[in-house]
Amino acid sequence: MAPKVGSRRSLVVSLFLTIAIAFGALGTTLALGWGPKLGLDLAGGLSVVYKPATHASKADMQEVVTILNNRVNGLGVSGAEVNLQGKNVVVSVPGVKNARAVLAAVGQTAQLLFRPVLCETTAPSAKAKAVSTVPACASSYALTAANLNVNTSTGEPTNNIALDPAYTNIKSTLPANDKPSAMVILPGLGTSDRYVLGPAQLTGKSVKSAVAQQDQVGAWVVNYTLTGAGSPLWDKVAEENFHAELAIELDGVVQSAPLIQPSQASFTSFDGQGEISGSFTESSAKNLALAMEFGSLPVRLEALNTVTVSPTLGHSSLVAGLGAGLVGLALVLLYTILYYRALGLVIVLGLGVTAALLWAIISALGHTAFAPSFDLAGVTGLIVSIGITVDSYIVYFERLKDEARAGRSVRSSVDRGFKSAWRTVLAADTVSLLAAVLLYIIAVGDVRGFAFFLGLSTLMDVAITWYFTRPIVILLGRRSSDSTSAISMAAGLTPGVVHE
């Protein structure tokens, strides 16, 4: 079926409706104060791509996304996004002022584990070697409840158990070997001594929330609440380790190793909540609380790619991108006007309509969670699409010249020319759209933004060609009956070529 070219009335309606919609939409978004959601390379910010260190199920990765989302939101930054791209988790926080502070908090990719402390040891010597299995502690150095013999009135152990020297020549457990089920040697936070720890008895999943607070005497403590399922588990672990130390391990570092209920003579249930006290500073208490609440990831993450962009650099990139786009656009317009003269003005108006519509759509999409943010790659996609958009006009105008050379009147040339140009435009735009869609589905990171905006403007090109270019050129063509009119001059219908 050849496309119907349409009656004069429908052409006029189509033309004015398109112009009205384009500039109406632009006006609306401007009036609402909407703008595109700028990507971090334009607004400044932070982006990290994590990959799971070991095999992780789809459900695990979904949980990672939820937890990272909580962490980022817990820091009070707005506009942060955490999403899954293939097997990777991408965290992007555009517009954040101090990107590296956020990075430090989000970058705690650890899993939180609770392990019993078996004994303590010294920092490794220079000759220390890695071992596959950690040997057991000598009984005289073991931090058992019996050895410690906690004095319930002071809350301190009666016996000061020395560091076990047997581990001096053994290296700390490497992250790759730090499995929950293994016995490990790990460093402690803020100490040169190391801990020899038993297999994990509980993970951070059991912790519902944790906050850093000051107690009555003004000392910093961490108050935590356990989940419904976690509460009995915690009680079981606490009872097993009553009057002994339970280490809280995050990312291979012991954050804290508190004694369990040292002020009580016998074990009592925690009833789902507890308090960790000790020599905390404000920041160490807050970090522990953050780690306890959000620290539990089902899988260890490795940062594949970390990027922070300063707001200044982002701004200068935005200026560069827009500047390059405008200069490019101006050059193209200048060329088309020089080449096609009056018809060039149709291209100018058409690009104006396209630009207005695109800006309105991009701004509106910026208000939904759906579209990728508008980054430098997206700007490039749009700049590239200038060529594709203008080409549709060129294809049509060149066809027009062909028809005119065949001796047809301007009136019939515009109709016939459009029909053949339309098929070419559709075929060519299909190819361009095919590329954009494939890239969007398959690619990672910035590429998606590029593909999205390229695809969007290709679709726009098809719509504009049909609803704007077709009516305006056909209407112009029907108005001009003589070969001296602007359109026939522009179409290359100089007298002599068509005269017989």
Partner 1 sequence: MSDVEKAPNRFQRLYRGLTTIDFVGRRRIWFTLSIVIIVIGIGSLSIRGFNLGIDFKGGDSWEVLAPHTSISKMTTAVERAGLTLPTVEKLGSDTYEVTADLNNLSTTNQTIVTNNVVNAMAKVADVNPIQVSTSSVGPTWGSQITDRALEALIIFFIAVVGYISIRFEPKMALAAFIAMVHDLLVTIGVYSLFGLQITPDTVIAILTILGYSLYDTVVVFDRVRDNTGGILKSGDITYGEMVNLSMNQTLARSINTSLVAILPVFSVLVVGAYILGATTLQSYGLALFVGLLSGAYSSIFIASPLLAVMKEREPRFRDLAARVASRSDHRILSPSSAALLGAEGSVRGTGATTTRTPRTSTYVTPRARKQKRR
- Token pair of 29, please? 């978004």
Q: Which amino acid is at 27?
A: G
Contact 27, 360 (CB under 8 A): no
At closest approach, how far in Å is the CB of 374 from partner 1? Answer: 13
User: Please, which residue, 68 or 390, has the CB nearer to partner 1?
Assistant: 390
Contact 410, 483 (CB under 8 A): yes
Q: Which residue has the tokens 């200026």?
A: 319
At closest approach, how far in Å is the CB of 317 from partner 1? Answer: 4
**Among 266, 460, 301, CA closest to 365:** 460
At closest approach, how far in Å is the CB of 335 from partner 1? Answer: 6
At closest approach, how far in Å is the CB of 277 from partner 1? Answer: 28
User: Please, which residue, 15 or 185, has the CB nearer to partner 1?
Assistant: 185
208 to each of 205, 227, 258, 270, how far by Cα in Å?
Answer: 7, 5, 19, 14
Q: Which residue has the tokens 């109709």?
A: 415
Q: Strands 81-85 and 88-94, how do they pair?
A: antiparallel
Could you give the residue ranges of the DSSP H alpha helices within 241-341?
282-294, 311-340
User: Please, which residue, 176 or 369, has the CB nearer to partner 1?
Assistant: 176
Residues 6+ positions from 274 with CB-CB distance below 8 Å: 223, 224, 226, 234
- Token pair of 415, please? 């109709």
Sign, Cα dihedral of 375, 377, 379, 385: negative
At closest approach, how far in Å is the CB of 56 from partner 1? Answer: 16
**Among 418, 417, 420, CA closest to 405:** 417
CA distance 257 to 195: 9
User: Please, which residue, 86 or 199, has the CB nearer to partner 1?
Assistant: 86
User: Please, which residue, 32 or 324, has the CB nearer to partner 1?
Assistant: 324
At closest approach, how far in Å is the CB of 330 from partner 1? Answer: 8
> For the chain, how many helices (H) and strands (E)?
14, 15
User: Please, which residue, 162 or 322, has the CB nearer to partner 1?
Assistant: 322
Please, which residues bridge with residue 223 across strands?
211, 275
User: Please, which residue, 13 or 444, has the CB nearer to partner 1?
Assistant: 444
At closest approach, how far in Å is the CB of 361 from partner 1? Answer: 20
User: Please, which residue, 49 or 184, has the CB nearer to partner 1?
Assistant: 49
Query: Rg (Cα) of the chain, in Å, rounded?
Result: 34
At closest approach, how far in Å is the CB of 392 from partner 1? Answer: 10
Sign, Cα dihedral of 337, 340, 345, 349: negative
User: Please, which residue, 395 or 464, has the CB nearer to partner 1?
Assistant: 395
At closest approach, how far in Å is the CB of 422 from partner 1? Answer: 11
Count the alpha carbons within 13 Å of 455 in the hemisphere toward its beta carbon. 17
Q: Which residue has the tokens 């579209």?
A: 371
At closest approach, how far in Å is the CB of 113 from partner 1? Answer: 18
At closest approach, how far in Å is the CB of 36 from partner 1? Answer: 17
User: Please, which residue, 116 or 445, has the CB nearer to partner 1?
Assistant: 445
At closest approach, how far in Å is the CB of 108 from partner 1? Answer: 11
Q: How far apart are the first and last CA of the chain?
A: 34
Contact 417, 395 (CB under 8 A): no
Contact 371, 365 (CB under 8 A): yes
CA distance 471 to 12: 7
User: Please, which residue, 189 or 233, has the CB nearer to partner 1?
Assistant: 189
Length of the chain: 500
- Token pair of 227, please? 């989940």
User: Please, which residue, 141 or 397, has the CB nearer to partner 1?
Assistant: 397
Contact 187, 254 (CB under 8 A): yes
